[in-house]
């Protein structure tokens, strides 16, 4: 038991969230549960898109300083924005799948 707990603490926050989200998705069986999980995931996707846009805006602004430093920071901000957008697409896809699944269950 202690070893399992130690392994849980070894996971970073993102991995923990992914495990919790996976568990929520797997445990959602009723249309109401699927709808709630779908809405939750859609909200996460929206937040990630907003954060990506904020990073892109920040990458586009000038703050003074060395050109090379600014260029490197811009590249990093754009890389992070792209990663967030990929995550958002994943969440949107799962959300839509759950939403469609809850509609099919409700129709049956």
Output the tens digit of pLDDT for each of the chain's 108 residues.
Answer: 344 454 556 668 888 888 899 999 999 989 999 999 999 999 999 999 999 999 999 998 877 778 888 899 999 999 999 999 999 999 999 999 988 876 665 554
Report if pTM > 0.95.
no
Handedness of CA 45, 91, 93, 85 (dihedral sign): positive
Angle at 79 between CA 77 and CA 82, to 5 degrees: 110
User: Cα separation of 96 and 6, whole Å?
Assistant: 35
| pLDDT recorded at residue 24 | 92
Handedness of CA 4, 6, 9, 10 (dihedral sign): negative
Q: Which of 81, 85, 88 is nearest to 60 (CA)?
A: 81
Q: Which of 40, 18, 13 is nearest to 98 (CA)?
A: 40
């Amino acid at each position: 038991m202690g070893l399992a707990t130690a392994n849980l603490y070894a996971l970073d926050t993102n991995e923990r969230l992914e495990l919790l989200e996976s568990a929520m998705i797997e445990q959602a069986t009723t249309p109401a549960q699927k709808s709630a999980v779908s809405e939750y995931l859609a909200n996460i996707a929206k937040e990630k898109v907003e954060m990506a846009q904020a990073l892109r805006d920040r990458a586009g602004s000038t703050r003074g300083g060395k050109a090379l430093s600014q260029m490197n920071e811009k590249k990093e901000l754009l890389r992070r924005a792209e990663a967030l957008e990929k995550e958002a697409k994943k969440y949107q896809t799962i959300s839509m799948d759950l939403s469609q699944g809850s509609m099919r269950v409700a129709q049956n």
